Amino acid sequence: MKENLNQDTGFGEKSTDMGGRMVNKDGSFNIKRKGISVKDRASGYQSMLTMSRPRFLATIFLFYFLMNCFFTALYWLAGPSGLEGVQKVEFWDRIKELFFFSTQTLTTVGYGRINPISEAANWIAAVESLIGFLSLAIATGLLYGRFSRPRAFIRFSDFLVYTHYKGTKALMFRLVCYKDDHLLMNAEIKVNVRIVTNDHSYRFFNLKLERSRVDSLVLNWTVVHPIDEESPFYGLSQKEIVNLQPEISAYLTGFDEVYSSIVVARISYAIQDFKFGFKFLPMYFSKSMRTDLDLSKLNLIDQE
């Protein structure tokens, strides 16, 4: 077991200095950085690339709306003689005309009915056009970055099972590539465990796997850690394993043919994710002259 001791995880050893799990279920690290300003530690570009699609679209539309509101106010301050072709005189009707003129200027559409005539209005329109060009370039870059950013289309099982395996016990979880067009080549996985010792410190171990690499991740992959003499769980009962409060973290890498790039996926299993005395049921079946892989059965288990 000593030779599997891992001191290079990047996490501390004192359990009292850390809260909760190391890695969240979605693969992100459970770390919050403090002590410096948000401006210094945050990355707007990274946030825009990684946020969810609804939030990304909401951010783009909110920026667009607020920018047009800002220039609408400037056109209003430029006075009624600043723009030619404005037909409405009522307050809200005029505001709407100025707002839609701003949208046309920001996007360089320019239908032509309304046009600036005063020097102030011309300067405002010139600055807005420049900002429109720059905003369009940035939005285009963000959209391309989001679509082209390599992603590992991998789903892990929600839990890990502790079950009989080849005359001994084993810990197992499984994963699958769920996109039709994305084939992961030379997939390799590394698994380690964090346990809490009697002196309330953490110890990390690399877990020996039955198979740590597959040439092509076409079907599902059940990752197996046999509990033998080299395992930190060897000779322990279910209660003793629970008392260790283990957290098992997995790190998967592979080459995606579509992106022509290395992709990464992470997962962790805390003790509440362990299923003792269960086994995974098959996910793929022979049908006529092909094999059907049923992704809905990723978490299908049964008692031993």
Render pLDDT for 201-250 as a digit per residue (tens, 0 to 9): 788 899 999 999 999 998 899 999 999 998 999 999 999 999 998 999 99
Q: Say whether both 138 and 255 belong to one domain.
A: no
Query: Per the domain annotation, does 13 fall within a domain?
Result: no
Query: Per the domain annotation, does 20 fall within a domain?
Result: no
Whole-number pLDDT of residue 15 = 45
Q: Say whether both 87 and 163 belong to one domain.
A: no
Number of domains in the chain: 2
How far is it, in rounded angstroms, from Cα 106 to Cα 118? 18
Predicted TM-score of the model (pTM): 0.75
Whole-number pLDDT of residue 170 = 94
Identify the domain containing residue 106 by its residue range.
Answer: 40-148
Q: Say whether both 99 and 189 belong to one domain.
A: no
Q: Say whether both 128 and 165 belong to one domain.
A: no
Q: How many residues does the chain have?
A: 304
Q: Say whether both 89 and 184 belong to one domain.
A: no
Q: What is the pLDDT of residues 2-47, one digit of tens each?
A: 456 655 555 555 544 556 677 777 777 777 777 777 777 778 888 8
List C-alpha distances in Å: 127 to 68, 78, 105, 123, 259: 12, 14, 10, 6, 39
Locus of tokens 């701003």 = 102
Q: Say whether both 242 and 202 belong to one domain.
A: yes
Q: Say whether both 296 and 156 belong to one domain.
A: yes
Whole-number pLDDT of residue 89 = 75
List C-alpha distances in Å: 31 to 11, 13, 42, 301: 10, 15, 14, 32
Q: Say whether both 116 and 224 belong to one domain.
A: no
Q: Say whether both 212 and 157 belong to one domain.
A: yes
Query: Per the domain annotation, does 70 fall within a domain?
Result: yes
